[in-house]
Structure 1
Amino acid sequence: MTNKAKIYAVIAIVAVFVAGYGVHHLFGKKPQNKGNIDVASITTFEQCSKAGFPIIKHYPDQCQTPDGRIFANENPPSEDELAKAEQVIRTFMGDWDHPQFQGSENNHINLVYVTQKRHPSNFAIYKPASQPPADYDFAEEYDRPVYIFQQKEFANDRCQVYEYQVAIKTKQVVEVGLVFPEGLEAGAAISGKCSKYGSMDTPSKNKDEIEQIAFTYMSRDPEHTKFLIRSDIQPEYFSSKSPTQHGWQWEDKSYKLPEGLVSDPFPYPMLKIIMSGNGKLVYYLNTTDLFPN
């Protein structure tokens, strides 16, 4: 063996030793006194994590105890993170630009953080499962996590509120819909508790007026609606399930998903907005920046 070969051999041996030492210290550490932990007494994510049990990467993260129980990290994001997401919502909704927010506190939309999820309610990218019984394989690289907020003020006489989903990574309003808030007392709408918030259908506006309001929403997020200016994508108008509602949809059917991936509900970027008969937002979904480039 030449001197040069001997030097390379020594370097290789040292590298293996160092790598093994590093792996041992990075992954070989175990929680202290793990055998003495009273697993049954663990009731929170913090206790599970502190005990050194496995953390499952999720939105929010989860910790699993040896007896199979799973605890979600219920701690909200930082105040700075929430403030950024809330500002995005207020900008998109126009805050006080729309009469539906009259009567709200502090002269702007009031929001409550609810939770976070690994992808919006009506969007996901995944691979068909390679092994049963699972139907899908969700890879972390295709997660599109969102923060979910609900508006404190009622949006209509049915006692519904707006629910907003904001992309964590891009701070984009991805989805907006109407839901019944948790804890709503039974029969609240029937009893007239929310009658002062008015119907979403009357007094009615004509289609041109409603279209102008719909496009105003999208103009408030030019960074994520800029594809609408493309000449090859034309809006498709449709009447929603309610005869008094109006909707517009854009679809980029030229986009092709990478081989082996599936997207729900559409395999291509799209934007949909549905408006009520008197010009209030009913639903919004924008997946144009959620697909792999």
Structure 2
Amino acid sequence: MNNLIKSLMLIFVFIPVCKGQEENISNLPMRKNSLTLLSPSKHYFYPRPVYQLSLTPQQLGHEIDGVMKQFKRIENSIENIFKDDDKYPLMGGSFRIPIWSAIYVNLQKTNINPEFSVTKKLPYAVALSFMGQFDEAIQIGLQLIELDDNNYGAMVFLGMHSAQRKELFDYLEKAFKHNPIKTIYLLDWQSKFLKIEVDDNTSWDFVDSYLRLIIENQNIIEGQPMQLGTAITLSQTIIAKYYCVKEGKRELIECDDNFKRKINRTRRYLNLMIQKQNRKEK
């Protein structure tokens, strides 16, 4: 029970954005409500908190009570987030997910009835990641792949953690080739709401590999609709990663001409998606 109380207390710690991370994109046009920043090295995503809570004990009690009343529903919603479909995850902004995660993990660890074991379910792995228990979460993902090597949810979940472990990137590639738009949606969701700890001083360039996966295979996603927020964030991330500002002008960094053409083509596609979605909203 003490572990559960500590876990719930940690949920409400606000994580500030450091000055160096702000400077990465300070000279680039970013929407005021942009949620994703690159780390100082630009090797991985650094999620900004989308809420800052200041709750009284009574209010916190009400929130925990609300989670308990919707406990199974939240579990099912987490499962649905990783479904092999074309829907954008809708639960990301709810702070009830980390509350649910703390309860879910601690209840399982104190559960003595094996009939109620959830340790080989993807929602449990997701809950562990929200609690920062990444090694155990990855192990569950690998076990799910052993049971079914075509498990899309497990593939993309492991791919999310490839910023930590380069060897897991193969799963992200496989998930992308199977369902490119949903994979982009899930990485967008993760980059905004689920912080995966990475040592920026020793990290490999996950962001470059991920963006190249999209840019080099742009023909796969061309013509498919994309959710407005994701298209904007992806376009901004490409700018933040591959452009610099020289004498007040934004320029592509040094790269071969073929890759430059592919970057420009991908940005044209994203801009077209943004324009189409903006017209729909008017």
Shorter-normalised TM-score: what interval?
under 0.3
Q: Which has the higher helix share?
A: 2
Q: Which has the higher strand share?
A: 1
| CA radius of gyration, larger in | 1
Identify the structure with bigger relative contact order (alpha carbons < 8 Å, sequence gap 6+).
Answer: 2
